[in-house]
Chains A and B, each alone.
Chain A
Amino acid sequence: MKKTFAIIPAYNESKHIRQTAKDVAKYVDEVIVVDDGSKDKTFEEAKKAKVKVLRLIVNMGKGVAMNTGIEYAISKKAKEIVLIDADGQHDASEIPKLLKLLRKNKTDVVLGIRQMPKNSPLLFKLGNWGLNQLFFIMFGSKIDDTQNGFRALRAKIYPKIKWNSHRYFVETEMIINIIKNKLNYTEVPITTHYHDNYKGTTVLTGLRYFINMIEVKLKWL
């Protein structure tokens, strides 16, 4: 019985999705690519990798694509779920490292921690550091990377950590739900390769994060 599923939410990633899906398929039982209403050939390219491809008929955001993929995986009796970005920034060969930690010591979630490349823009480093500090102040837990998309989790905890965010805030909301439900988590350093132009946190995105954190904190009270 297949038990480890990888979910790859993808939006306009026709350049990388086929290779990413092929690489990921080596380390899990089944790969599910969720095409988030892409305007390019992401769906067709993902199909060429001979993996399961789900298609959202309109672009709904990464959070919805992830929810859809996980719910499909659970309907197929998934036991473990790996979440990984479609743009090839994560190294699929590190999946066993995450799964090993997940299986050890009853860990519920393993969070990948990006090692910032030395040539990352200063604003990017500052933005990430600032958001992580803000997260610590608001939620009392020190997480080294609240926005990284490379994670592994036990399928049975999904109902507890299910998120409402559609876009940028989804990873952070997942961690907030993990803390709120007192689930066991482990952090592990991962390698990051940026292939395209930088698409990370901007000042405006940071501001949105901040507003979203306040919203979630208010719901928590």
Chain B
Amino acid sequence: MALELQLVGIAYGLGMFYFLYASWRRHELTNGDFYIWSLAWFGFIFALIFPSAIDKIRSILHIGGGQIPFYTIFGFMFLTGIVFYLYQKVRSNSRKIEKIVRTIAIKRAK
């Protein structure tokens, strides 16, 4: 993997970890959220510093053509997972808001 690409990726991973840490310090995230996302970002940084570490996984999954296809596949899986998670959260929050709005309307009327 090109050194420049590794450096950009590492800087991105560290930047994202900083935002994660700042959110956690402001109590916007739970400890569980912080640990899971820390693992994800440090895993990302580790894979960039030691690209050969993922060769074993690539060979087990028969993903040829270098490391880029591996990152593309797993990146896409990760993103679709996040999109679904956010969709579910938005729906759930929407239901909660609906319940609150309805309760307020009925309470005020009585």
Contacts and interface: CB of A to CB of B under 8 A. Distances in A.
B27 interface: no
Interface stretch (A18-26, A48-56, A105-113, A185-193): A48-56
B4 interface: no
Interface stretch (B56-64, B65-73, B99-107): B99-107
Contacts of B104: 57
A57 B110 CA distance: 16
Interface string B84-108: 0000000000000110011011101
A72 B101 contact: no
B105 A34 contact: yes
- Give the interface SS of chain A, mostly helix, strand, loop or mixed: mixed
B109 interface: yes
Contacts of A53: 109
B101 A64 contact: yes
B91 to A, nearest CB: 10
A212 interface: no
Contact of A58 (B101, B108, B109, B110): B101
A123 interface: no
A71 B109 CA distance: 12
B44 to A, nearest CB: 36
A75 B97 CA distance: 21
Given A53-B109, A71-B106, 17 more contacts: A34-B105, A52-B109, A54-B106, A54-B109, A57-B104, A57-B105, A58-B97, A58-B101, A60-B98, A60-B101, A60-B102, A64-B98, A64-B102, A68-B101, A68-B105, A71-B102, A72-B105
Interface of A: 34, 52-58, 60, 64, 67-68, 71-72, 75, 166
Interchain residue pairs A-B with the least CB separation, the first 8: A54-B105, A68-B102, A54-B109, A56-B101, A56-B105, A72-B106, A68-B105, A64-B98
9 contacts: A34-B105, A54-B108, A55-B105, A57-B104, A57-B105, A60-B102, A68-B105, A68-B106, A166-B98
